[in-house]
């Protein structure tokens, strides 16, 4: 797909020119699993800080040391954390590229249950909005950028659309986004993709049981171990805990695809057509994108995989290089006092 499909009124759909999938990791699943579980990742010493929220809850931040550099917020995926392979990789890459990486752990994802009788979900943008405001108040300068992976990418795109021209960022990057939550829940209940569903749902079940071991659940004596699919878990747990009528209301209001045309800051979306979490029909068309959004599609990359065959990408670091290249393509402002 070339930029010839672009139109002044909407965004661009294109292929990254320098990406070629690694042949010995064919299909959607091998690059997904290898990038997550086996690739070597550079590391950087992280600092941790707890941020108290206005509602009495908290979120934990994991940050790189260079606090005088332009801030880049990182949003992890479902059940992720600073320990996720892609999170460790991008934080190290940001540090090396001269940015201050600030990873926001969604509620309950930093290793300690959050306080309130709720968790996080794909459409919850309030904590991101608060962290953006907090960083600007702390540093005197709005964060330079934000990067969201999978669920974090959905949250980021929805927030950018909600904020519209008021989004206090120079740019944003979203990776492997579940644009249509209902379609993705269906896809994850098919074939080998059920392996990912099983693992993620079990992690959410474990966290639910740990959280409500010491406090009463508002859902009563619900047996979450019987909820095997995203449809069931989100209908019986996620939706009622967060004020949605049911799973259809949750998926309908939280999916980012419907909001993409409202994004007005320069935004890069990186996605693979064979993503085993996202069916092809859920990938947006160019006509759905805002004028300042580019959707770069690779044919084979899996979910947060993007393992390239270039010699320097033998450890699968194309994704971090592409993101940092995008960030550097903008004029990076200097921080006050730097």
Contact between residue 176 and residue 151 where contact means Cβ atoms under 8 Å apart: no
Angstrom distance (rounded) from CA 270 to CA 298:
8
By DSSP bridging, strand 58-63 and strand 47-52 are antiparallel
SS (H, E, C) 213-281: CCCCCCCCCCCHHHCCCHHHHHHHHHHHHCCCCCHHHHHHHHCCHHHHHHCCCCEEEEEECCCCCCCHH
| Residue 169, CA atoms < 13 Å, CB-side half-sphere | 28
Q: If you ran DSSP here, which 8-state letter would residue 78 be given?
A: T
For the record, the structure tokens of 214 come out as 């010491």
Angle between helices 85-96 and 29-37 (to 10 degrees): 70
Q: If you ran DSSP here, which 8-state letter would residue 167 be given?
A: -
3-state secondary structure of 157: helix
Element holding 146 (H helix, E strand): strand 145-149
Angstrom distance (rounded) from CA 321 to CA 57:
35
* Span between the terminal Cα atoms of the chain, in Å: 41
Give catalytic status of residue 303 as yes or no. Answer: yes
Angstrom distance (rounded) from CA 98 to CA 278:
33
| Marked catalytic residue, from 110, 150, 193, 255 | 150
| Marked catalytic residue, from 127, 235, 275, 313 | 275
Give catalytic status of residue 275 as yes or no. Answer: yes
| Marked catalytic residue, from 271, 303, 317, 326 | 303
* Residues labelled as active-site residues: 150, 275, 303
């Amino acid at each position: 797909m070339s930029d010839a499909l672009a139109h002044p009124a909407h965004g661009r759909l294109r292929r990254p020119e320098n990406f070629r999938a690694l042949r010995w990791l064919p299909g959607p699943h091998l690059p997904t699993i290898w990038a997550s579980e086996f690739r070597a990742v550079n590391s950087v010493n992280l600092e941790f800080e707890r941020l108290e929220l206005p509602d009495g809850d908290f979120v934990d931040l994991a940050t790189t040391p260079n606090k005088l550099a332009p801030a880049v917020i990182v949003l992890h995926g479902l059940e992720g954390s600073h320990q996720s392979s892609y999170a460790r990789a991008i934080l190290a890459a940001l540090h090396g590229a001269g940015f201050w990486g600030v990873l926001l752990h969604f509620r309950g994802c930093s290793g300690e249950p959050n306080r309130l009788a709720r968790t996080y979900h794909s459409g919850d943008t309030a904590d991101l909005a608060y962290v953006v405001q907090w960083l600007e108040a702390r540093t005197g300068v709005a964060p330079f950028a934000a990067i969201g992976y999978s669920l974090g990418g959905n949250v980021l795109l929805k927030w950018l659309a909600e904020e519209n021209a008021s989004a206090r960022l120079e740019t944003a990057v979203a990776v492997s986004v579940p644009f249509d939550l209902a379609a993705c829940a269906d896809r994850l209940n098919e074939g080998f993709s059920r392996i990912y569903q099983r693992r993620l749902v079990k992690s959410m079940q474990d966290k639910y049981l740990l959280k409500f071991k010491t406090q009463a659940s508002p859902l009563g004596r619900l047996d979450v171990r019987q909820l095997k699919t995203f449809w069931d878990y989100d209908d019986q747990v996620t939706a009622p805990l967060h004020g949605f009528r049911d799973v259809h209301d949750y998926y309908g209001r939280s999916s980012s695809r419907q909001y993409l045309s409202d994004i007005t800051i320069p935004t890069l979306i990186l996605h693979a057509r064979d993503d085993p979490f996202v069916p092809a029909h859920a990938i947006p068309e160019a006509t759905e994108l805002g004028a300042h959004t580019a959707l770069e599609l690779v044919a084979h990359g899996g979910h947060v995989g993007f393992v390239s065959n270039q010699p320097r990408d033998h450890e699968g670091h194309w994704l971090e290089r592409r993101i940092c290249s995008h960030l550097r393509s903008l004029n990076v402002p200097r921080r006050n006092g730097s």
